[in-house]
């Protein structure tokens, strides 16, 4: 990795590589999350554990002397979510803590280079609310009510810079900056089975003043749009297909704007199966369609969920 570092010091443009890699761990504009507006009773608690495996490469500027940059990343995520009433509407709070370990390999000026990382990535908190559609209901009322066809909701997520980060290293699991994600989502359900759902998302970032080798880096807002189509076979068992695209998000290194406009598209599928009233499994797959700048990964995910409700 010494040759890799020397090249980066000589050309400030190369520092953008680290930001691009950090987008892999962001959760990010390109997380495809179907059924975001699904109704649930208030007083619900959800404990979640998931394992994901990602592999692929990050496509960089062809003028850079870096080829075949590949990563194999294993991620374990623990999370907790709770549904409750907020302003007489159905709301949900969730928190996730990711732990990742993986290996990165690349060819720099015809020299093979590799490194590995193990540790915690940045944790995330989110608050979401359904503004139009299903209202906040207790357990008994929920199962006797008729679900709404049209729903409209908002969410706000914060990613805290608490993950593993070392400014003397090129690759880090944490981004060393705050990130804020706002999203608006709308859905329409046909005959209680088929649901079309769209999301418009924007990420905002603070400046990282401890970027690699004593530099600073900032990023303009990153926007994304997602479309999901899901089919419910019966309560708790559903299948969804998704597609999403993101853009903008140019970076600024030491007050110098970089020519790295983000332009990525991804697709995915997810299947959920409710084992019984308290236990459920979910399997998901996402991959890249096209990438100009940013992450181009294929990810397989399996998640387990345990659910319980307040006694009252």
Q: Are strands 279-291 and 262-274 parallel, antiparallel or unpaired?
A: antiparallel
Is 117 within the bounds of a domain?
no
Residue 34 CA to residue 200 CA, distance in Å, equals 13
Residue ranges making up the domain that contains 301: 2-102+122-309
Cβ pair 218, 176 in contact under 8 A: no
Phi, psi angle pair for 222, to nearest 5°:
-110, 125
* Structure token digits, residue 117: 């990382």
Phi, psi angle pair for 190, to nearest 5°:
-110, 120
Residue 210 CA to residue 227 CA, distance in Å, equals 36
Please enumerate in sequence order all residues whose Cβ is within 8 A of that of 10, keeping only pairs 6 or more positions apart, or say none. Answer: none
Is 290 within the bounds of a domain?
yes
How many other CB atoms are found less than 10 A from the CB of residue 312?
A: 6
- Number of structural domains, the chain? 1
pTM of the model as a whole: 0.84
Q: What is the pLDDT of residue 181?
A: 95
Q: What is the pLDDT of residue 206?
A: 95
Q: What is the pLDDT of residue 127?
A: 97
Is 161 within the bounds of a domain?
yes
10 Å CB burial of residue 105 (0-12, 13-18, 19+) is middle
Is 113 within the bounds of a domain?
no
Q: What is the pLDDT of residue 134?
A: 85
Rg (CA), the chain: 20
Helix (H, G, I), strand (E, B) or coil at 1: coil
Residue 39 CA to residue 140 CA, distance in Å, equals 14
Cβ pair 21, 272 in contact under 8 A: no
* Structure token digits, residue 193: 């089975």
Is 55 within the bounds of a domain?
yes
Phi, psi angle pair for 267, to nearest 5°:
-135, 165
Is 110 within the bounds of a domain?
no
Is 259 within the bounds of a domain?
yes
* Structure token digits, residue 132: 């139009």
Helix (H, G, I), strand (E, B) or coil at 7: helix
Domain CATH for 291: 2.40.160.40
Which pLDDT tens digits describe the chain residue by residue (312 residues)?
444 344 343 333 333 333 333 333 343 445 778 998 888 899 999 999 999 998 876 544 333 445 566 788 899 999 999 999 999 999 999 999 999 998 878 765 566 667 788 999 999 999 999 999 988 998 888 888 888 999 999 999 999 999 999 988 767 888 899 999 999 999 999 988 999 999 999 999 999 999 877 888 888 999 999 999 999 999 889 999 999 998 888 888 888 888 777 778 889 999 999 999 899 999 999 987 755 555 567 889 999 999 999 886
Residue 294 CA to residue 189 CA, distance in Å, equals 33
Cβ pair 25, 58 in contact under 8 A: no
Is 108 within the bounds of a domain?
no
Please enumerate in sequence order all residues whose Cβ is within 8 A of that of 141, keeping only pairs 6 or more positions apart, or say none. Answer: 41
């Amino acid at each position: 990795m010494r040759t890799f570092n020397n090249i980066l010091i000589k050309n400030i443009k190369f520092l953008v590589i680290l930001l691009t890699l950090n987008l892999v761990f962001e959760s990010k504009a390109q997380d495809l999350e179907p059924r975001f507006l699904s109704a649930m009773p208030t007083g619900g608690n959800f404990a979640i554990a998931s394992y994901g495996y990602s592999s692929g490469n990050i496509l960089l500027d062809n003028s850079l002397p870096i080829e075949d940059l590949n990563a194999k990343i294993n991620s374990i995520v623990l999370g907790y979510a709770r549904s409750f009433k907020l302003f007489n509407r159905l709301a949900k709070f969730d928190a996730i803590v990711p732990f990742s370990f993986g290996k990165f390999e690349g060819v720099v000026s015809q020299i093979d280079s590799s490194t590995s990382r193990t540790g915690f990535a940045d944790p995330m908190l989110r608050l979401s609310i359904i503004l139009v559609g299903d209202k906040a209901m207790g357990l008994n009322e929920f199962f006797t009510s008729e679900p709404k066809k049209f729903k409209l909701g908002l969410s706000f997520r914060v990613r805290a810079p608490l993950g593993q980060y070392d400014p003397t290293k090129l690759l880090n699991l944490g981004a060393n900056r705050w990130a804020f994600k706002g999203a608006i989502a709308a859905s329409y359900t046909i005959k209680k089975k088929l649901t079309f759902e769209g999301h418009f998302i924007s990420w905002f970032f603070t400046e990282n003043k401890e970027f690699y080798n004593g530099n600073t880096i900032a990023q303009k807002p990153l926007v994304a749009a997602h479309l999901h189509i899901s089919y419910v076979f019966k309560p708790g068992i559903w299948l969804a297909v998704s597609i999403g695209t993101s853009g903008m998000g140019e970076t600024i290194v030491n007050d110098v704007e970089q020519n790295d406009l983000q332009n990525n598209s991804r697709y995915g599928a997810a299947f959920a199966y409710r084992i019984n009233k308290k236990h459920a499994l979910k399997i998901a797959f996402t991959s890249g369609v096209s990438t100009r700048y940013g992450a181009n990964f294929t990810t397989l995910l399996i998640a387990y969920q345990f659910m319980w409700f307040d006694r009252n």
